[in-house]
Amino acid sequence: MSDAYGDRGNKDVSIGNPKGMGSVMPKSTGKSFDAPGGPFLIGDSMTAGYGNGPDILHDCTISVEKGEIAVIVGPNGAGKSTGMKAVFGMLDMRKGHVRLDGEDITNLSPQDRVAKGMGFVPQTSNIFTSMTVEENLEMGAFIRRDDFRDTLAQVYDLFPILKDKRFQAAGELSGGQRQQVAVGRALMTQPKVLMLDEPTAGVSPIVMDELFDRIIEVARTGIPILMVEQNARQALEIADKGFVLVQGANAFTGTGKELLADPEVRKSFLGG
Ligand SMILES: Nc1ncnc2c1ncn2[C@@H]1O[C@H](COP(=O)(O)OP(=O)(O)OP(=O)(O)O)[C@@H](O)[C@H]1O
Ligand SMILES: [Mg+2]
């Protein structure tokens, strides 16, 4: 499988933003500071929970390198979405750090993280159903002050069906098409890294394959992808790196190939 995608992370940066955050105006709320080295994006040794509730994440680490696809798998309730939310700054971290491209962004708000180049597609409520497809995509560009029509055209190139349906309410689309809207919306900020929480939830196997192909295409434009997937086997097949989470902690970590070959991982998480 790796051969088919061997040129991933190539030089085509048409959707990615080669200048980093060139088109986005960062605001300043929390402080960030230099923290060089390590993966491109990492939630490092995260311990976190909701409000005053118990710890959900226990010293949990997830990360993605430049030019790669990293996949997070694990049973329902394992804390996969919580891990993504922690990396995106949606919950208070009790221990640990988030670093993006050599900068410690642990104290930044989600908005500021978007300005720094993070794109995030949450697991639920990831589109505005009463708005048209095109309005959804335009909303994605909310943070940009420059002309985003080129990016819109690139999103339509990547997802041609969205161009056909651009004046239709997003709520009228199929599950797979809605997920394309959600991913397209995140691409509108020209992110430096894309985080996807279960992009193939509730779609048929054929649509899942198609979405994976599009995700691989995005990765090939040079945007590293950190994604949660319930289709563990298929996801690990396209993953450079995989994280198996259990009860908020790292249970297994390795390349996609290593995890697919690991007897323990196979038995417990891949159905043998
Ligand atoms: N908003 C919230 N407030 C309080 N607890 C929450 C909240 N969201 C999730 N939890 C709890 O955190 C734990 C981990 O949930 P999370 O949604 O991160 O799991 P998950 O691995 O993404 O599961 P799934 O595969 O079902 O999406 C669960 O015990 C859940 O009840
Ligand atoms: Mg989840």
CATH number for the domain harbouring residue 82: 3.40.50.300
Name which of 142-146, 152-156, 188-192, 250-254 the model is least confident about.
Answer: 142-146
Q: Would you state the pLDDT for residue 14?
A: 55
CA of 219 to the centre of ligand 2 (A): 22
CA angle 59, 62, 64 (to 5 degrees): 155
Is residue 77 within 6 Å of ligand 1 at its C-beta? yes
Report percent pLDDT > 90 for the chain.
80
Question: 149-202 pLDDT, tens per residue?
Answer: 999 999 999 999 999 999 999 999 999 999 999 999 999 999 999 999 999 998
pLDDT at 28: 52
Could you tell me if residue 54 is inside a domain? yes
Is residue 77 assigned to a domain?
A: yes
Is this structure's pTM higher than 0.85? yes
d(CA 109, CA 112): 5
Domain residue limits at 68:
27-117+193-203+224-272
Domain count, the chain: 1
Quick check: is 145 in a domain? no
CB of 84 closer than 6 A to ligand 1?
Answer: no
Q: What was the pLDDT predicted at 29?
A: 63
Assess if residue 173 is contained within a domain: no
Residue 87 lies inside a defined structural domain of this protein: yes
CA distances to 5, 117, 192, 220 from 8, in Å: 6, 20, 15, 4
Report which protein residue has its CA nearest ligand 1's atom 29. Answer: 77
Residue 71 lies in a domain: yes
In a domain, 154, yes or no: no
User: So what's the pLDDT on residue 8?
Assistant: 45
Q: Which of 5-14, 80-89, 115-124, 145-154 has the lowest mean pLDDT?
A: 5-14
Question: In this structure, are residues 45 and 96 in contact, taking their beta carbons and an 8 Å threshold?
Answer: yes
The pLDDT, as a whole number, for residue 12 is 47
Residue 18 has pLDDT above 60, yes or no: no
4 falls within a domain: no
Closest residue to atom 1 of ligand 1, CA basis: 50
Task: Measure 43 CA to ligand 1 centroid, in angstroms.
Answer: 17
Closest residue by Cα to atom 8, ligand 1, is 82
Contacts of 84 by beta carbon, 8 Å cutoff, 6+ apart: 62, 72, 120, 122, 195, 197, 226, 228
- Look up tokens 């161009």; give the residue: 163
pLDDT value at residue 234: 94
Q: Is the pLDDT of residue 241 over 50?
A: yes
> How high is the pLDDT of residue 149?
94
Residue with tokens 């986005």: 24
- 218 contacts 212 by C-beta, under 8 angstroms: no
For residue 123, give the ligand nearest its CA. Answer: 2
Residue 23 has what pLDDT?
46
Q: Assess whether pLDDT exceeds 80 at residue 111.
A: yes
Q: Average per-residue pLDDT in the chain?
A: 90
| Cβ atoms 91, 82 nearer than 8 A | yes
Are the CB atoms for 79 and 186 separated by under 8 Å?
no
Which residue, by CA, sits nearest to atom 7 of ligand 1? Answer: 50
